[in-house]
Structure 1
Amino acid sequence: MKRFEFEYGAGTMSAELPDDTDVFIPGETVSDPPCIPEDKLEQAYIDSIRHPIGMETLDHLANPDSKVTIIFPDIVKGGTQPTSHRKMAIRVILEELGRIGLPDENILMICSNGLHPKNTQEEIHKILGDDIFNRFWYKHQIINHDSEDYNHLVDCGYNEAGDRVFLNKYVYDSDVAIMIGHTQGNPYGGYSGGYKHCATGLNHWRSIAAHHVPAVMHKKDFVPVSTHSTMRHKFDQIGQWQEKSMDKKFFCCDAVLDSQSRQIEINSGWAKEMQPIAWKTANKRTFVPWAKKKYDVIVFGMPQKFHYGDGMGTDPIMMMQALSAQVIRDERIMSDHCVFICSSLCNGFFNDNRWPYMRELYKDWTEDKLNMNKLSDMNRLGEYYATNKEYIRRYRYTNAFHPFHGFSMMACAGLAEKDTSAIYIVGAEKPGYARAMGLKTRATFEEALEDAKKKFVGPHPNILALPRTFTTMSAHLMMADEDPSVQ
């Protein structure tokens, strides 16, 4: 037997699995493409920014009188190390704008948090580092996007697909809009960065409701993850409509990142032409053709705190979203009767500060007074929650998720049940929460595996262990004979 440690709460839980269990750890089992050495990073940024793809350089776009917005993603993505993409890109861009003669007072930095919580002062400081933070924060030139601040939103109408589009007014009114993004694997549409950045991060929930909903996320093209899904196309359509509405292109600076958030490649320019180039390199890191067989059992662990914050691994709806993200990433290597076994505290902690509406969502779902037969049925309550004045107030003023964000979580969460034969949660302190979501519970990994053998996968299943699933930048696993370049 092989011994494994899987994420669980703030620590790990042990498992004894058969000797023939395969293991995949991003960046280790298959090495990432080489990252740019630290001593060459600054020059790489200069070269990229001075040679943008598909558009003019900053010294042609801006002059000393220009109003410039610099848009950067929130704490959820991208790393905070001294050489992180955000810190390096913004520093070099500020130097380029300084060469033009643009004064600091003409620059506004905007955190593109979208429906995510507004980042706190401490988080902004961590994202940007001492120099940039101290240079702009105390002059009130660093703000969060507020998707409910109608004085600073522009209604761009409906695009050709019939989707409503909004845009941050500060960005709309600026002469040059610069977006710092990450070409980073994402189960929603393939990659972050590019047009996904502005379509979600600078928009309004009514526009996000065009794609983060069952009508899009339950289409056949959504699983497994790819850059050819309806969702990805909607990101591009919405971002390009924003550009058309403000009569200028976003100047993007996106970095392809490795499993430790180090820069593999930096690409700048117009998202429409830059994205496909960035994706070619990103595919080599993100879509990994590795598996030589389909897996009947996939084993991993879930900490209490990861991507979206403390409680993601205990709140039952967020827990389901995380499970579904694994389906989206790994469906190519899953057998038709695949079973997940995952450790989670599952202790009923909802984090009411972060998601003040989740208890009510869970109650509406589990009490079934509204005839909810599956999670996607909850989507019809989206308007009810998204217009709740108290939940909106919490989003605007207490660093909570916007109430509509819960509906994208539920739309995704339904995929876990749809595309697996069973999901076992092991180590649940309050197993009733898992059972209410349609999951099975057992005390240990070993008990769950034995039960799965009897009921679903037979006595000799192919087993894959995924340690550090939620604490390392994930890969999208593929069969060894699949071509990652076409994703």
Structure 2
Amino acid sequence: MATVEFDAGARRQALTLPDGATVLEYVEQPATGEAGALVDRALDAPLGLPPLRELAATLPRGGRRVVIAFDDPNRPLATIRAVLPAVLGRLNAAGVGDEDITLVSANGMHPKFSREAFAAYLGPDVLERFGGRVRNHDCEDVDDLVDLGATEFGDVVQVNRHAVESDLLIYVGNVAVNIWGGYSGTGSVVGLAGVRGFAGHHGRHGIGHPDSCHGDPHAMLYQRRKRAVAAVIDRARPRPVLYVEAMTDGRGVVDVFAGTSDRIRAAAWPEADRRFVRPAAPADVVIVGLAPAFLYGPAHNPLIALTGVCFPLRLWRGQPLLRPGGVVIGVTDSLGVVDAATHPGYEEAIAEFGVARSFETVAKAGSRIGGDAALVARYRAGSAYHPWHPFWLFAEDEYGMTRAGAIIMAGARPGMLWQQLGCVVAATPSDALAQARGLVGAEARIVALPTYWSKPRIAFQVG
């Protein structure tokens, strides 16, 4: 037996695991080089495009419009701090003045960020330098959106007008393990989308489709739909989007890629596989330590905590990580409450599921709750998620919620919202593990992910 320390919100919780249990965590590896040198290499030799300075020098005189869009401040600080100064320096050196540059936070349906948040993320000098040209994307601002038609999948392409009509669009993003594509990247598709542009790839028939419920980016349906949207955006512009995407770990930037989205994928994914994919065996019980906050806010929100335990179940390659009818345990101190000021629509969506116990019924409620004018107004006023947002979480969690025979939240405070979500609450991780072994057998194969949300996320080669 071995005792393992699990993340449990604001504290750590020890759990003694039986012999044969597998503990999987991210293992640090050396960076490919120094962060500044990696950024310089990427910008001076982009994959499939001329160097940034050359791209900027070819822009039309007298009316250059450059947009630098970036993953919103929920994403790693190290990326924007390493990349943005180098991008701005090359633009200025090519004769593009600050007055021709607009910075757009690609929030998607995430909250808009305050000036203080931008100062902390971009740096106070950048905020002072660009002032009102640092903008939040608003997926409901019809005057600031342009419709580009639809993809071959029928997904509507509705995108930020400033980005589409710019002479040069640079997107600063990240390559990280993510159920939304296997790896993140090509952030313009989601971060700059209008509200009509989400339903296809973010709904049950996109992210929730069985062909999206695994971790292989090469074969994932969601990734193909995302690429189709990116192609429509590129065709609508005078030149392709220049993506600059970094890999990070807890120490900072470990690699940087720049170029077209297709060329970055070909170069970045093998390196990401090397760093972030771990071998595993199929499990009867998966135990996930939950950090105080991740992805979409605090783990006190039960739907966010539930997403935290369902998320790694989808990141398998070869075979599913969790056997059908297995048990998932989340180790947490979650209070099981929703802050309606920051997450409007969440309680309403959870209540719909609690009554219907049907993912189809919940999805059909999306247009009513997601389109509620009062809830949308909270998003538009700033600091709140869009009320459509919880419906995307149900679409991504459906796989884990239906594959697992039980989902146990160890250490959470009992409450009605857990019951509506179909989760069981246990007093301690030891109690939860005893319940799980009672359901699947004392000889259950266990995979433990004690630091899944406090260290870089990993995916699983299962066999």
Q: Distance in 1 between matches of 2:443 and 2:142?
A: 59
* 1:476 maps onto 2:459 in alignment: yes
* 1:465 maps onto 2:448 in alignment: yes
**Shift in alpha-carbon separation, 1:118–1:232, aligned structure 2, 3 A:** same
Opposite residue 381 of structure 2, the aligned amino acid is Y
Determine the structure 2 residue equivalent to 1:133. 127
**Shift in alpha-carbon separation, 1:109–1:98, aligned structure 2, 3 A:** same
CA contact (8 A) 1:376 1:410 kept: no
Q: Distance in 2 between matches of 1:376 and 1:326?
A: 23
Q: What are the residue-to-residue correspondences of 1:240-389 with 2, within 5 Å?
A: 240-257=231-248, 259-260=249-250, 262-288=252-278, 290-291=279-280, 293-310=281-298, 313-330=299-316, 332-366=320-354, 368=355, 372-389=356-373
Give the 3-state SS of the residue equivalent to 2:214 in structure 1: coil
CA contact (8 A) 1:222 1:229 kept: yes
Q: Distance in 2 between matches of 1:300 and 1:348?
A: 17
User: Structure 1 residue 236: deviation in Å?
Assistant: 0.6
Structure 2, gaps ≥5 residues long? none
Determine the structure 2 residue equivalent to 1:434. 418
The one of 46, 65, 75 equivalent to 1:67 is 65
The one of 32, 35, 47 equivalent to 1:53 is 47
Q: Distance in 1 between matches of 2:210 and 2:294?
A: 28
Which digits, 9 at most, give the CA deviation of each residue in 1:252-301, with x for residues without a partner? 111123x326333221111122222111211212222x22x332222222
* 1:201 maps onto 2:201 in alignment: no
User: Structure 1 residue 26: deviation in Å?
Assistant: 0.8
Opposite residue 200 of structure 2, the aligned amino acid is A
- Percent identity, aligned pairs only? 24
User: Structure 1 residue 327: deviation in Å?
Assistant: 1.1
* 1:166 maps onto 2:158 in alignment: yes
Determine the structure 1 residue equivalent to 2:115. 121
Give the 3-state SS of the residue equivalent to 2:234 in structure 1: helix
User: Structure 1 residue 19: deviation in Å?
Assistant: 4.1
CA contact (8 A) 1:71 1:109 kept: yes
User: Structure 1 residue 142: deviation in Å?
Assistant: 0.6
Determine the structure 2 residue equivalent to 1:182. 174
Opposite residue 77 of structure 1, the aligned amino acid is R
Opposite residue 452 of structure 1, the aligned amino acid is A
Give the 3-state SS of the residue equivalent to 2:211 in structure 1: coil
Q: Distance in 1 between matches of 2:297 and 2:416?
A: 23
User: Structure 1 residue 427: deviation in Å?
Assistant: 1.7
Q: Distance in 2 between matches of 1:328 and 1:363?
A: 25
CA contact (8 A) 1:376 1:414 kept: no
Q: Distance in 1 between matches of 2:366 and 2:388?
A: 6
Q: Structure 1 residues 332-341 or 391-400, which shifts more?
A: 332-341
Opposite residue 346 of structure 2, the aligned amino acid is M
Q: Distance in 1 between matches of 2:37 and 2:332?
A: 44
Q: Structure 1 residues 230-239 or 463-472, which shifts more?
A: 463-472
User: Structure 1 residue 177: deviation in Å?
Assistant: 0.5
Q: Distance in 1 between matches of 2:321 and 2:151?
A: 37
CA contact (8 A) 1:376 1:411 kept: no
Q: TM-score, normalised by structure 1?
A: 0.88
User: Structure 1 residue 222: deviation in Å?
Assistant: 1.7
CA contact (8 A) 1:36 1:263 kept: no
Give the 3-state SS of the residue equivalent to 2:231 in structure 1: helix
Q: Distance in 1 between matches of 2:349 and 2:83?
A: 39
Aligned residue pair count: 456
Opposite residue 22 of structure 1, the aligned amino acid is T
User: Structure 1 residue 431: deviation in Å?
Assistant: 4.3
**Shift in alpha-carbon separation, 1:389–1:435, aligned structure 2, 3 A:** closer
Q: Distance in 1 between matches of 2:38 and 2:4?
A: 40
CA contact (8 A) 1:53 1:270 kept: yes
Which digits, 9 at most, give the CA deviation of each residue in 1:55-81, with x for residues without a partner? 223333324642111111112222x2x
CA contact (8 A) 2:411 2:428 kept: yes
CA contact (8 A) 2:49 2:259 kept: yes
* 1:157 maps onto 2:149 in alignment: yes
Which digits, 9 at most, give the CA deviation of each residue in 1:298-354, with x for residues without a partner? 2222234222122xx232322222222021125643334432122233423202221
Structure 1, gaps ≥5 residues long? 482-487
Opposite residue 15 of structure 1, the aligned amino acid is L
Opposite residue 193 of structure 1, the aligned amino acid is G
Cα RMSD, aligned residues only: 2.0
CA contact (8 A) 1:320 1:414 kept: no
Q: Distance in 2 between matches of 1:276 and 1:377?
A: 39
Which digits, 9 at most, give the CA deviation of each residue in 1:414-457, with x for residues without a partner? 2222122222222221244323322223222222222222222x
Determine the structure 2 residue equivalent to 1:15. 15
CA contact (8 A) 2:67 2:103 kept: yes
User: Structure 1 residue 3: deviation in Å?
Assistant: 2.4
Determine the structure 2 residue equivalent to 1:232. 223
Q: Distance in 1 between matches of 2:352 and 2:320?
A: 34
Q: Distance in 2 between matches of 1:454 and 1:42?
A: 53
**Shift in alpha-carbon separation, 1:21–1:323, aligned structure 2, 3 A:** same
Give the 3-state SS of the residue equivalent to 2:290 in structure 1: strand
Opposite residue 322 of structure 1, the aligned amino acid is G
Q: Distance in 2 between matches of 1:157 and 1:318?
A: 33
CA contact (8 A) 1:434 1:441 kept: yes
Q: Distance in 1 between matches of 2:444 and 2:154?
A: 47
Which digits, 9 at most, give the CA deviation of each residue in 1:100-122, with x for residues without a partner? 11111111000001111112222
Q: Distance in 1 between matches of 2:182 and 2:252?
A: 19
Q: Distance in 2 between matches of 1:455 and 1:192?
A: 35
